[in-house]
Structure 1
Amino acid sequence: MQSCPYRKIRPLGEGSMGDVHLCVDVQQRRLVVVKWLRAELHEGSQAAVRFRREAELMAGANFPGVIKVEEWGLDEFGRTWMAMEFVDGLMPSAVIGPGDCWSVHRLLAGVGQGLDDLHGLGVVHRDLKPENVLLRSSVDGWEPVIIDLGIAKWLAQETATASGSVFGTPHYMSPEQCRDTKHVGPATDRYAVAVIIFELLAGRRPFEGRTIPELLRQHLESPVPELQIPKRVRSGAIRDTAAKATYPSPNLDAFMRKAMAKEPRLRFGSGREMATEFERAAKADGLWEVPDPSDMTPLFPALTHPMAEIIIDGESRQRFDVRHGPLVLGRHESCQVVLGSPRLSRLHACVYLHRGRVWAADLHSQNGTLFQGRALQPGVPMPFPPGGQTAVFTLYNRNIAVRLCTTTGP
């Protein structure tokens, strides 16, 4: 298996079993997400073997609501890695306001279907939470995607059980997961989804213990509280009054009690069933409001200057549309901007688009990168100046200007 062919741009997360980075694929001019196991989990360890088994299983799957696993391998340090597609999106709470039942249903339908697909493969996520779901742009607005498959987290299951520690995120853990992290199934994931949609609807989580033991006890013993969905104005904001009135929601409350039942067998049997029953309950409570298509704004502002013009020694050399993928600057022939200098790293710096803005990043180069006269720290990208201004990279002793412009500009 080949070494990891992707170059790190910035870290996305770190856990007990490994770390995750946003990376660039120079050959195909795209962004990818790569997860590495920790160095101490060597190739022959049980953790690495299971990691590869899960990666192989997911690499053969292609589910619309689940991040796609593309390949895996070993790097030059013997670390097992797995590459996944990059999803440019926002967390649900940044898009869905309290009481927006139509949008909550859309999220539930997408995430529920994604979980049904995973469960059909025999895969249980075990650590579903809002941070593991992103909303990405689609033709009709947005669609939800489960972005963290929790594969590395699954490997900690035996260790967590043996040490008596908690495996999962306590606010979203099912009662059976609180009791025994080993014996969980699809109903565990659906419980976590129910907690997520409770939080989106009510603007608060159902259980808020001051300590982890108290929080786990609430999941195990406390009844599911009423939603108390705050009334909304047309913009979706909570009414700004001294007494924030709430909508009566008896049908949705009954839905939540079943979705978060203490016994797994008493919950809904699938994500599809959950979505169907949620829609029925929201309509019965009079809280189903389909938005006007004209009110559905894009997740990110349109890029007004999508073309990157490369200027070297005062001469315009090339133009690239940054919407079509990142640009890598360096001395290797695979770079989009090839610079013949032995002092430069083969893959030195990068220009890429994320959440409607253009960013500059150093790719852990040997001699460093200056951007607008400031040192770019590896793993800490800087945004391009707004308004299509020209920005200057200094790669060791080479100055490269990058001007963002419109497709029809000079």
Structure 2
Amino acid sequence: MTGRPRLAAGTELDGRYRLESVLGRGGMGEVWRAVDLRLRRPVAVKVLPAELADVPGAMDRFEREAEATAALQHPGITVVFDVGRTGDGLAYLVMELLEGEDLRTVMRRHPGGLPVEEAVGHAVQVADALAAAHSRGIVHRDIKPANLFVLADGRLKLCDFGIAGLADAATRLTQDGGTVGTPLYMAPEQFRGGAADFRSDLYALGCVLHELLTGEPPFRSGSGLPGLMYAHLNEAPPPVGAVRPDVPERLERLVHDLLAKAVDRRPESAAAVASYLRAGPRAPAVPPPGPRPPRPRRRTRPRRRAPRRGARARAGRPRVRCSRGARCSPWRPC
């Protein structure tokens, strides 16, 4: 569709939101600082690409997901005030105006990775926000540093819920000089064209946490999208400890589990990940809350024997390796 007006400072959307200045541009539209003329307050307005209006069902889906996001009440999720569509066919989302910087900008100041405690602090806030959304059946689908906004007081906000759902209607896999944007954080099932669920968000969180700790996402490719897709589908992520020996093993294991290729090998929920992170980066590894499957019995007859000296103390130590020499996962029994 053509003939739509070009946005500029002073443009008013539906006679209520006056655009003032561009805050950012991306593949899914422009974000403007604006004023709500009715309530006389500053807001952020995201205007989606005009081309999306030509995709059947795209705008209806956008409005449904935006309305669902507006119902989320969580301090780690950006507040959605309004959603609309102009007479010219432009769709827009009105959100709270945030003051701070996105996580991508923060990480650029730490090319070798953030301090462990700071990285964990960011990750647990993302996990909390995802847990709130997932409990309402809402999947983000596009977790990445650019969608994570750090406020001046250190609190983190998750942005662009609802926008990512338009990925089915628009091409987000863009290449520019051999570098790839969003696919750096996409789960294998998304590359295969499968449906994304909460475990896809957990995989993306694993990619972000890997980058927080090492300064690099788990996979890069000099051949662009094809090589990156192959890596996410087939290659094991590089161990965090190889780059950052100071990262606790339990935290490295969490990143490894979040980046599991098979969805059923990832942690059971974002809430479980948040709980695990809150235990402290150097605390003993413990399973998340909830029942665990019973382990097979190794003896056919009960044996009543007094515990050996020191056995009670050893019971509280983290299990790093099982009897088979393999790593134990806190999410599943050995």
Q: TM-score normalised to the size of structure 2?
A: 0.69
- Which residue identity does 1:263 align to in structure 2? A
- TM-superposed CA distance for 1:43, in Å, is 9.6
In structure 1, distance between residues paired with 2:259 and 2:42: 37
Corresponding letter in the other structure for 1:53: R
What is the rounded CA distance, in whole Å, between the counterparts of 2:48 and 2:20 in structure 1?
Answer: 18
Offset at 1:36? 2.5
Equivalent pair of 2:140/2:201 in contact (CA under 8 Å): yes
CA distance, structure 1, for counterparts of residue 174 and residue 102 of structure 2: 28
> 2:233 & 2:54 partners in 1: Cα distance?
39
2:196 is aligned with 1:184: yes
**Are the aligned partners of 1:6 and 1:24 in contact in 2 as well (CA < 8 Å)?**
yes
What corresponds to 2:274 in structure 1? Answer: 275
Q: 1:2-401 alignment to 2 at 5 Å? A: 3=14, 5-15=16-26, 18-42=29-53, 45-92=56-103, 95=106, 97=110, 98-137=113-152, 141-149=153-161, 151-158=162-169, 160=171, 169-180=182-193, 182-210=194-222, 211-228=224-241, 246-247=245-246, 249-280=248-279, 282-284=281-283
| Structure 2 CA distance for aligned equivalents of residues 117 and 155 of structure 1 | 21
Q: Which amino acid aligns with 1:190?
A: L
SS, match of residue 122 in structure 2: helix
Greater helix proportion: 2
Task: Give the whole-Å Cα distance in 2 for the aligned partners of 1:111 and 1:4.
Answer: 35
The structure having more radius of gyration, on CA atoms, is 1
* Secondary structure of residue in 2 paired with 1:156: helix
Which one-letter code corresponds to 2:251 in the other structure?
A: L
Residue 43 of structure 1 contacts residue 78 of structure 1 at CA under 8 Å; is this kept in 2?
no
Q: TM-score, normalised by structure 1?
A: 0.57
Contact 2:147–2:160, Cα closer than 8 Å, also in 1: yes
Kept in 2, the 8 Å contact 1:3–1:75? The answer is yes
Instruction: Evaluate the alpha carbon distance shift between residue 284 and residue 59 of structure 1 in structure 2; reply closer, same or farther with a 3 A threshold.
Output: closer
Deviation of 1:68 after TM superposition, in Å, equals 0.8
Question: % of aligned pairs identical?
Answer: 30
Q: What CA distance in whole angstroms lies between the structure 1 residues aligned with 2:99 and 2:268?
A: 31
Q: Distance in 1 between matches of 2:102 and 2:255?
A: 22
Cα-to-partner distance string for 1:219-278 (whole Å, 9 max, x where unaligned): 1111121113767xxxxxxxxxxxxxx426433222221111111111112222113323
One-letter code of the match for 1:196?
V
Does structure 1 conserve the Cα–Cα contact (< 8 Å) formed by 2:128 and 2:274? no
Q: How many residues are aligned here?
A: 264
8 Å contact from structure 1 (residues 18, 37) kept in 2: yes
Which residue of structure 2 lines up, in the alignment, with residue 354 of structure 1? Answer: none
Structure-2 separation of matches of 1:226 and 1:41: 40
Deviation at 1:40, TM superposition (A): 4.9
Consecutive unaligned residues in structure 2, runs of 5 or more: 1-12, 285-334
Decide whether aligned partners of structure 1 residues 69 and 229 sit closer, same or farther in structure 2, where only a CA change above 3 A counts. farther
User: How far off its partner does 1:279 sit?
Assistant: 4.5
In the alignment, the residues of structure 2 paired with residue 15 and residue 47 of structure 1 have an alpha-carbon distance, to the nearest angstrom, of 18
What CA distance in whole angstroms lies between the structure 1 residues aligned with 2:52 and 2:217? 36
Structure 2 distance, partners of 1:102, 1:110, is: 13
Determine the C-alpha separation between the residues in 1 that align with 2:49 and 2:241. Answer: 44
User: In the alignment, residue 269 of structure 2 is paired with which amino acid?
Assistant: S
SS of aligned partner of 2:75: coil
* Residues 4, 74 of structure 1: 8 Å contact kept: no
Cα distance in 2 between the residues matched to 1:159 and 1:116: 27
Q: Shift of residue 17 of structure 1?
A: 5.3
Cα deviation for residue 135 of structure 1 reads 0.9
Aligned mates of 1:112, 1:248 — CA distance in 2: 19
- Structure 1: which 5+ runs fail to align? 232-245, 286-410
Amino acid at match of 2:271: R
Please give the secondary structure, in 2, of the residue aligned with 1:247. Answer: coil
